Structure 1
Amino acid sequence: MSFTSLPVIDLKSNPDDIRQTLLLTCSTTGFFYVSNHGLDSLQSQMFSMAKEFFYLPLNEKLLYVSNTTSYKGYIRIGRENLDSTNSKLVDGKEAFNISQSNLNRKDKLPNIFSHEENFKLIEQFFRQCYDLCMHLFQYLAETFQIDQDYFTSRHKWDKEPGVSIKLLHYPPINQIEQNANVIRAGAHSDCGSLTLLFQHDKKSGLEVFDRLTNCWYPVEARDDMIVVNFGDVFEYWSKGMIKSTIHRVILPNNINEQNHSRFSIAFFCDPQS
């Protein structure tokens, strides 16, 4: 199966078509696109804000490095390795994690994010992403012919750990240390329930691992669609019926893309404790 043409769930299409596509996705890749999601304007504004932060001098960004295990705050280039099977691998990216609890304590955020207009943008983005996840959970419950609230009731808005976003910046290759152990994001599966991935400027690099062929396949970067994937929680809950698939972000072979940054935003939806 080609992952460059993931199944597409058009939210304006017939509900039966949506459920059928979800069923196909669950049993194969666990990855799909969502179109007509209504977040186009919001995601564009979020990317503009993210760029403004990542283009700050490093010493300013380091003021917001998290000193706890809460996964909040700034992560500098080379400090994260998502591939648990290769301890020598280094992720050539920087990131900023914003958890739902930050919405109640914006004093812990950089000025760019805590500025009133931008903070409202973040709140709105959080809420609409959450609502989209709940919408998909309802369709998923209908697909498996169980109570419609079965999954939504396990992902309450006000319950920890809740939801979070990760702003991601993959710098041009010439701006990171050059060695064979650098990758943009190491191979991993997501530990939560559902991930929404927003991509920007059609910058590619995401690859998904196919268990059947034992091969990696590229996923086309689409500005107009969200890439959605199920996490380990759903594979566990469904006893393997719903797939949580390993994925990574590789360094580009295209010289033009090597000289440009890649930006993405991941929204993570986790079940309540």
Structure 2
Amino acid sequence: MSFSSLPIIDLKDDESTIVKLMLNACSTTGFFYLRNHGLLDAQQRMFTLAKEFFRLPLNVKEEHLITKDNHGYVRRGQENLTTSTAKLIDEKEAFNIAKYFQSDQLPTIFAQPDNYQFILQFQQDCYALCMALLTYLAQSFQVDSDYFTSRHKWEEKSADTLRLLHYPAVQNYSDASIRAGEHSDYGSITLLFQHLNQSGLEVLDRSTNTWYPVEPYNDMLVVNFGDAFEYWSKGFIKSTVHRVAMPILDTAKENERFSIAYFCHPNDSTLLTPVPSKLILNRTFEKDAHAKLALDHENEETLTAGEHFQRRINKTYTY
């Protein structure tokens, strides 16, 4: 498998096929497409709600500015995702919906009873899909099937976040313009829904320092691995670095972009101690340039998922 042609995992395949493909995907690209995930209709309604919110006046959106609990509206320039030494403004806005959110913590459009219940269900359906993938992954690592899911209990505190993203149309830009800086995700796995064939997502092959496009498909979502798995696997699974660049189009009207991400995180108290799997038993965790910046804790034996998340997010936001 290569970054130029990302693997596709179909959840209608038999279990042994899925387990084999999961192992191949996590140990090579760290990015894969997921087909027959069961959220096609729900994602369309979620995109409709996101568009309605982002079309609101700025002063209305700013009534729910992001807090240190990682919940709320992120305005343009408030977040800088890049883990490189270059500090650039991300050309985007977002709304983060944290775990256990209440209707009074949401803008009016999201707080309406039908919409509130729908968002809550969508969040829980994303979580359930992540648990299914983590179960397959445990089988890939030949550990107990609940090894990872037991570290992602819904009832325990974690940084799980449903994130709505909007990249406004930009009139003056070059092919080198970046909408979201290069970064790895902070948790275990991420589900990404791309919309209406809007391109721009790119993934980095860290071994060759080469960027590859992640083409959008409305019928498939994208799954990628985050920092927790690089710690857990002693680098066998790379926390895949990605960014959002400007698409090559002629008009500003056509370069507006929407996406939805569900960030799945281990429970805050979970140690990022290596998995007791024979796949990595004799492996030494040798950090490359990205890992030295993003995974800069000296001893994963004492680092919790909550501590790692807080370290990363403290470098990301301006409140």
Tell me the TM-score normalised to structure 1 length: 0.93
The amino acid that maps onto 1:164 is T
Cα deviation, 1:178-219, whole Å, max 9, x if unaligned, reads 699952100000010110000000000000000222210011
Which residue of the other structure, out of 205, 213, 236, is the alignment partner of 1:241? 236
Does the 8 Å CA contact 1:90/1:182 hold for their aligned counterparts? no
Q: CA deviation at 1:46?
A: 0.2
* Distance in 1 (alpha carbons) for counterparts of 2:175 and 2:77: 13
Does the 8 Å CA contact 1:203/1:257 hold for their aligned counterparts? no
Q: CA deviation at 1:31?
A: 0.6
- Show the counterpart of 1:211: 206
Which residue of the other structure, out of 243, 258, 271, is the alignment partner of 2:266? 271
1:70 aligns with 2:65: no
Cα deviation, 1:140-197, whole Å, max 9, x if unaligned, reads 11111110000000000111115211100001113xx869995210000001011000
* Distance in 1 (alpha carbons) for counterparts of 2:76 and 2:33: 29
The amino acid that maps onto 2:78 is R
Report the CA distance shift for 1:43/1:178 in structure 2 as closer, same or farther (over 3 A). same
Is the deviation greater in 111-120 or in 180-189? 180-189
Is the deviation greater in 248-257 or in 53-62? 248-257
1:224 aligns with 2:219: yes
Alignment identity in percent?
56
1:116 aligns with 2:152: no
Does the 8 Å CA contact 2:2/2:29 hold for their aligned counterparts? no
Structure 1 residue ranges without an equivalent (≥5) = none
Report the CA distance shift for 1:185/1:16 in structure 2 as closer, same or farther (over 3 A). same
The amino acid that maps onto 1:148 is S
SS in 2 for 1:134: helix
Residues 6-45 of structure 1 aligned to structure 2 (within 5 Å): 6-45=6-45
- Show the counterpart of 1:82: 81
- Show the counterpart of 1:51: 51
SS in 2 for 1:184: strand
Which residue of the other structure, out of 105, 123, 141, is the alignment partner of 2:138? 141
SS in 2 for 1:91: coil
SS in 2 for 1:43: helix
SS in 1 for 2:63: helix
The amino acid that maps onto 2:191 is L
Regions of 4+ moved over 3 Å: 1-4, 177-182, 256-260
Which residue of the other structure, out of 151, 173, 186, is the alignment partner of 2:181? 186
* Distance in 2 (alpha carbons) for counterparts of 1:8 and 1:147: 25
The amino acid that maps onto 1:158 is E
Q: CA deviation at 1:87?
A: 4.5
Report the CA distance shift for 1:236/1:27 in structure 2 as closer, same or farther (over 3 A). same
Which residue of the other structure, out of 229, 250, 258, is the alignment partner of 1:255? 250
Report the CA distance shift for 1:42/1:117 in structure 2 as closer, same or farther (over 3 A). same
Does the 8 Å CA contact 1:92/1:183 hold for their aligned counterparts? yes
Is the deviation greater in 21-30 or in 85-94? 85-94
* Distance in 1 (alpha carbons) for counterparts of 2:174 and 2:36: 41
Does the 8 Å CA contact 1:7/1:33 hold for their aligned counterparts? yes
* Distance in 1 (alpha carbons) for counterparts of 2:200 and 2:70: 24
SS in 1 for 2:24: helix
Q: CA deviation at 1:127?
A: 1.0
Question: Relative contact order, CA 8 A, sep 6+: which one is greater?
Answer: 1
Instruction: Supply the RMSD in Å over aligned alpha carbons.
Output: 1.8
Report the CA distance shift for 1:149/1:87 in structure 2 as closer, same or farther (over 3 A). same
Tell me the TM-score normalised to structure 2 length: 0.80
The amino acid that maps onto 1:84 is T
Does the 8 Å CA contact 1:27/1:242 hold for their aligned counterparts? yes
SS in 1 for 2:53: helix
